[in-house]
């Protein structure tokens, strides 16, 4: 279902303290690869994906570990890819459920 957003531009935010990571185009397979900025605190964070209208279309929790911090931002970006792919797939599935419920009402 994440492929429903293929070719669309989405905005990705890193939370605890919100930081805009940038605008990304969703790949044909429904994934987005982001690179975390240097200096991200170790621990749990949330990546939030917004559509062009600013609506949340997905999110995922990520853990920044000492191993990721040691590899630099590229390693963290690779780790974030799988989580964002899951978030976009989940968002697509949620969109189908919401549309079906609205159609019944």
Neighbours of 21 (CB within 10 A): 19
Residues 93, 95: Cα–Cα separation, whole Å: 5
Q: What is the pLDDT of residue 65?
A: 82
Q: What is the pLDDT of residue 3?
A: 80
Q: What is the pLDDT of residue 89?
A: 54
- Tens of pLDDT along the chain (105 residues) come to 468 888 999 999 999 889 999 999 988 888 888 888 878 888 899 999 999 899 998 888 888 887 555 554 444 444 455 455 555 555 554 444 444 455 555
């Amino acid at each position: 279902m994440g492929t429903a957003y293929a070719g669309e531009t989405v905005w990705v935010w890193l939370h605890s303290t919100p930081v805009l990571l940038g605008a990304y185009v969703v790949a044909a397979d429904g994934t987005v690869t982001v690179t975390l900025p240097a200096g991200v605190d170790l621990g749990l964070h949330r990546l939030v994906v917004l559509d062009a209208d600013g609506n949340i279309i997905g999110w995922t929790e990520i853990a920044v570990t000492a191993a990721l911090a040691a590899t630099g931002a590229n390693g963290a970006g690779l780790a974030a890819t799988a989580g964002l792919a899951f978030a976009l797939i989940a968002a697509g599935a949620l969109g189908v459920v919401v549309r079906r419920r609205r159609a019944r009402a």
